[in-house]
Amino acid sequence: MMRGTAPVSVEDVSEVLCLRLHKAYKYKLKPTPDQERQLEEIVWQCRRLYNTALEQRITLWKQRSISLSRYEQEAELKYLRAEMPDYAAIHSHVLQDVLARLEKTYRAFFRRVQAGQTPGFPRFHGPNRFNSFTYKEFGNGARFDNGFLVLSKIGRVAVRWSRPNGPWEGTPKTVTLAREADGWYVCISCADVSMQPLASTGCETGMDLGLESFATLADGTMIHNPRCYRRAERRLKTAQRKVSRRKKGSNRRKKAVKLLARAHQQVKRQRQDFHHKETLKLVRQSDTIYHEDLQTANMVKNRSLAKSISDAGWSQFLRILACKAAYAGKRVVAVPPAYTSQICSGCGVLVAKGLSVRWHACPDCGASLHRDHNAARNIERAGQALRGEVA
């Protein structure tokens, strides 16, 4: 995972090389049963604090029209820790991060209100909707010693190291422990990560994302759509049916829920693995990659295509592509998507066609090629024009 980059135009390679990257490294933990119970207890207490702090904000606003800030609530933590031993057993930075998350949700709520979007007021979290906690300063409450993760008031937790070139690069900043369907993971967020530029190929390409094929490049290459969710749909349906048939609160239902979560996790990882492999191929082949600036949040409103669009995971793919490109010193440029499929890439004439028409045939210049191939060529040309205007 990498943060701090976005699919935007970059004018010069030297500017790309000057980017200061943030990167996160994720590893599987191997806690003992007692340590796992302690981790579960911390998550439970953090969720309880989050819900209490949210209720406090809501109550004070309704009764007195007082808006509490994160720092005002943080000032109360020392009294909370003095009165409640459960919270005294948790590192103070972990509790402070919980209140920081609540502040972040409020800011996102007001940002959406100001932008005229559907706001979505901050909600209370149930037992299955709060699955992580963070030590906001590496070395203070969380550190590594001789291959073990040493956590304050928990002890030494074994880690399954999976990177041959060292556990991380750059300067570690925060440590997050997350509970997933198959166990616990640690995520180390690092700053000032040095880049690893790849050799220049002198090639540029446009890319049209689709559903028939996952992506089509300007040279006509088509990337197969794996359809991970569609292929697993029957298995997921069976697992969901088992959950529905179990009595609520029973141990058999809990086991069925875990199996369902593992099934969904497998689909998620298959899709993510596909995205990582294909983006790496693209970054190795081209110095500049142009793609449409897709608004997938609006596209999934189409009931006929919503499941297929979500299954493709275009947003995640573009995010990973932008991160890998920045890390390798390459460019990713987003261009406006208007009329990329309608305009003829040969002569520029507008050839109107519905979504069901998969072949582009120009009556003026006689160009005949696949609709997505035509769009990829238009995207490449539009990206080159955009960069020329910037220069």
Q: What is the pLDDT of residues 83-126, one digit of tens each?
A: 999 999 999 999 999 999 999 999 999 999 999 988 899 999 99
Please say which residue of 193, 225, 248 terminates a domain: 193
Q: Cβ distance 243 to 249 under 8 Å?
A: no
Q: In terms of domains, do 205 and 125 share one?
A: no
What are the beta bridge partners of residue 291?
207, 334
Q: Which residues of the chain have pLDDT under 50?
A: 1-18, 390-391
From 166, 193, 220, give the residue that closes a domain. Answer: 193
If one counts the domains in the chain, the total is: 2
pLDDT reported for residue 386 = 87
Q: Are residues 184 and 56 in the same domain?
A: yes
My answer on whether 204 and 107 are in the same domain is no
The answer to whether 150 touches 230, Cβ cutoff 8 Å, is: no
Residue 27 and residue 167 share a domain: yes
Q: What is the pLDDT of residue 94?
A: 97
Which residues does 135 contact at the CB level (< 8 Å), separation at least 6?
91, 93, 94, 97, 141, 142, 151, 152, 174, 175, 176
pLDDT recorded at residue 327: 92
- CA dihedral for 6, 9, 13, 14, sign (positive or negative): negative
Quick one: 253 and 158 in the same domain?
Answer: no
- Residues 215 and 252 grouped into a single domain: yes
Q: Does residue 205 share a domain with residue 268? A: yes
Q: Are residues 53 and 72 in the same domain?
A: yes
Residues 11 and 28 reside in one and the same domain = no
pLDDT of residue 137: 95
Per-residue pLDDT, 60: 95
Q: What is the pLDDT of residue 19?
A: 59
Catalytic residue annotation: 208, 292, 372
Q: Which domain holds residue 97?
A: 21-193
342: which residues sit within 8 A by CB, 6+ positions away?
350, 351, 352, 353
Residue where a domain terminates, one of 177, 193, 209: 193
Whole-number Cα distances in Å, 30 to 39, 194, 254, 380: 12, 30, 22, 47
Cα Rg of the chain (Å, integer):
25
